[in-house]
Amino acid sequence: MTEYGEAVEFYAERRVELAQAFINVVEDAIFRIVASPTRWAVLDEDIRRCLTGKLGASHFRCLGGALRDELS
């Protein structure tokens, strides 16, 4: 979650609207993953890739049923 918070701060320093757009994109990706977790391409063992669009790509790792963001 540290990288997520840093990314939000990065966008907020530029424009608050960008930070909100980033938050919306990541939350949308999480909802899509939760709705259909096996839909996404496997990158490595417990890591699947879900592209988020214009504001970068996110990888989410399932750990004990919880999602942890791996922003890249």
Please tell me whether the overall predicted TM-score, pTM, comes out greater than 0.85 for this model: no
pLDDT value at position 52? 78
pLDDT value at position 17? 92
Q: 43: Cβ–Cβ under 8 A, 6 or more apart, which residues?
A: 49, 59
What phi and psi values does residue 46 have, to the nearest 5 degrees?
Answer: -105, 25
Which bin fits 56, alpha (ψ -120 to 50), beta or left (φ > 0)?
left
Q: Is the pLDDT of residue 32 over 50?
A: yes
What is the percentage of the chain residues whose pLDDT exceeds 70? 72
What phi and psi values does residue 53 have, to the nearest 5 degrees?
Answer: 100, -140
Output 61 or 35, whichever has higher pLDDT.
35
